[in-house]
Structure 1
């Protein structure tokens, strides 16, 4: 059981990522975009943006603890065509992270015992 947990943690660790710089850059761009969405007038979009911005901020903090969110918000906003593509990339990153957490949770869950 411990080996499964260790393997899961290593697979999810930043050291296991083959393109750490590309992933960190994407996380920062996604944070910027999600923070912008958090300011939207639509309450559903605003709530989604806040949650997603926190998600990406956590990923960034894990790999680059000195990251300054205020500086990221000053970066140039993506164009409309870039924005659509970036939204898809950010959604894919969040979905992959969700699968990782579910897989870890399933591996840690006690196995069902047969009923007699």
Structure 2
């Protein structure tokens, strides 16, 4: 199969899935986990049973519901940790930006480098 620039529409869902399930440097977690409160299960994990899928399959329904309830209670904590991580990220970006800023003392009537001579 030859791939061309016209194939982007077929590949878009895969690109979006990759974006939503990769860890963001600004938050330290995936967008998927912030939204749903748990990590995603890849289709390959369902086809070739991963340990995580096998463990959940062997749980009784009541045990599974209890585990899911505990995960939902932890989602707020996870989101709060992501917020702290994001705030630290913003501070690092701000420091890096402020290192490059040149302070200029301007007085009323100064036009800086755009002053015109009459």
Note whether the superposition's TM-score is higher than 0.5.
no
| Higher Rg of the two aligned structures | 2
Larger fraction in helix: 1
TM-score (norm 1): 0.37
